[in-house]
Copies of this chain bind each other. A is one copy, B any other.
Amino acid sequence: MNAHDSSTPAAPADAPVYTDILAAAARIAPHAHATPVLTSRALDELAGCRLHFKCENLQRGGAFKFRGACNAVFSLSDEDAARGIVTQSSGNHGGALALAARLRGARATVVAPHNTPKVKLAAIRAYGADVVFCEPGQASRDEVTAQVLARTGGVLVHPFNDPRVIAGQGTATLELMATAPGLDAVIAPVSGGGLLSGTAIAAQGADPAIAVYGAEPLGARDAHDSLAQGQRITGRVADTVCDGLRAELGTLTFPILRSRVREVLLVDDAQAIAAMRLIWERMKLVVEPSGAVPLAAVLAHRDAFANKSVGLIVSGGNVDLDLAAQWFAAKPS
């Protein structure tokens, strides 16, 4: 009998391990912010538990993505860096990769869907990277990325299906666990699964008993359904206001999550926007809808977290203020 039955498969051989995350933390330390962990008595009362918000909206580039991009870019050999770096992104990873490449002195090209928010495109270009547009959906992303790689001879830093990127994302949770010891659970948003994979490896490396949850919009529930069905679901078109969470799990992240994540909690867009407004109003932090999904998940699943100490990865704050005003106006406050 195997130690891992079909419901808890082993992680793949190329998955990063805890020491990779420790190495990533040292590698990115000269460049990344150690972001604050903030608390709110008002939100604790509302949620019925003790919440610790890891503020990656205050990270460089406005999102956790800089951690993974920075670790990957500074892991490259000088020869590879000189070839130029290519990635695909709906926004935050693109900006982060562009910034990391600039710090390394390397050229960067970002393949982005044409419906990427203006504010995220502006950030990518402000860091000096080129943007090449594709259609929404993974197939077009992959096709255009392959074309760019062939044309430029560059090296790929995938936004999530890359062990260096996963290890970098896990460094946020290393800091969270050091600042808020004794967490019962940690919740990260899930899109392609890079952040949630790194979160799980870091959290369980520091405390094997901690419960790791994903939080996902109903309109992009491929991770939830993939874990429930035991196979990776691809080819759906996401429909959610959470523009950072529209990707699907990768071949590397799916088995990592399958072996490590207790559950993926679902929230609808109205719950995400309501949680976003709570964080703006009560914590005075600008977060994007994707970054509010973990709080929305706690509020929608109160019983699972009653009286517990819960870490939430507030993944990013890159939101168009005019769009945000429209979202808030669409709901009674």
Contact = CB atoms under 8 A, between A and B. Distances in A.
A326 to B, nearest CB: 8
Nearest to A318: B284
A317 interface: yes
Contacts of A325: 321-322, 324-325, 328-329
Contact of A285 (B277, B286, B328, B333): B286
B285 A321 contact: no
Contacts of A238: none
A321 B287 contact: no
Contact of A283 (B58, B324, B329): B58
Contacts of A62: 284
A321 B57 contact: no
Contacts of A286: 280-281, 284-286
Given A284-B58, A284-B286, A286-B280, A322 B317 contact: no
B322 A57 contact: no
A62 B285 CA distance: 11
A329 B322 contact: yes
30 contacts: A36-B36, A38-B58, A41-B60, A57-B284, A58-B283, A58-B284, A62-B284, A119-B281, A277-B321, A280-B286, A280-B321, A281-B286, A281-B321, A284-B285, A284-B286, A284-B287, A284-B317, A285-B286, A286-B286, A321-B325, A321-B328, A321-B333, A322-B325, A322-B328, A322-B329, A322-B333, A324-B325, A325-B325, A325-B328, A325-B329
A333 B325 CA distance: 14
A331 B60 CA distance: 27
Interface in A266-305: 277, 280-281, 283-287
Give the most central of A62, A284, A286: most B CB within 10 Å. Answer: A284
Contacts of A284: 57-58, 62, 285-287, 317
Given A58-B283, A321-B328, A322-B333, 5 more contacts: A284-B286, A284-B287, A321-B325, A321-B333, A322-B328
A36 B57 CA distance: 14
